[in-house]
Amino acid sequence: MELAYFGAKVLHPRTVEPLMEKNIPLRIKNTFEPESEGTLITNDKEMTNNIIKAIASIRDVFLINIFGAGMVGVSGAAARIFSALGRANGNVILITQGSSETNISIVIYGGSQEAENCIRELKREFKDSSLIRDISIDEKVCVVSAVGAGMKGSKGIAGKLFEAVAKSGANIRMIAQGSSEVNISFVIGEEELENCLQTLHDTFIK
């Protein structure tokens, strides 16, 4: 399911979910090498040497950073943000909020037009409010996701992952991890993607 969402174009999340519900194995074949056995995906959680099974990326996204001390302890601020993004038809894929509650970072699918629509609706929503101090946007970013069932409960895997990212020369701008613990996603500059993917692949996949 994670790879279907993070860039594996041969799969769509909605095609994988019914198989998961019925515990039906899925085999992915290469149309250029039909004789190959391909990749078998099952519910078997048997551990292998590779804790991280795959590295995926998503391009054509932009990052919005929303700052404001007025959001601290105020209920409904996040709801208003996502209501504004909903009016702009923003397709949100990652969200993080600092523990200080003074900033929220959001990654959204799209290009310049989608970014412009989102910023317009956010400014309209908070134009008469003191909750938000500043809204910044970065369109030259991409999302990288490390995926693997073995990541759950594995101590130090995040440290090793980000050490490899630093080795590639990439600067992480945002980090997100779901409660499932089977993927860690982060945002870097699009110009850093190629080196980052190669370094992560050499470190964890080979």
Dihedral (Cα; 122, 124, 125, 128), 10-degree rounding = 130
Q: Render the burial of 63-92: b for 16+ CB within 10 Å, e for the rest.
A: bbbbbbebbeeeeebbebbeebbeebebee
The tens digit of pLDDT for each residue in 166-204 reads 999 999 999 998 777 788 999 999 999 999 999 999 999
The tens digit of pLDDT for each residue in 89-137 reads 999 999 999 888 889 999 999 999 999 999 999 999 999 888 999 999 9
The tens digit of pLDDT for each residue in 66-89 reads 999 889 888 889 999 999 999 999
Domain limits of the chain? Answer: 1-44, 60-140
3 state SS of 195: helix
CA-CA distance, 41 to 149, in Å (whole number)?
A: 12
Q: Render the burial of 24-45: b for 16+ CB within 10 Å, e for the rest.
A: eeeeeeeeeeeeeeeeebeeee
> Regarding the domain delimited by 60-140, which CATH topology (the fold level of the hierarchy) does it fall under?
VC0802-like (3.30.2130)
The answer for 73, left when phi > 0, alpha when psi is -120 to 50, beta otherwise, is left
Nearest partner of 107 among 148, 140, 83, judged by Cα: 140
- DSSP 8-state assignment for residue 14: H
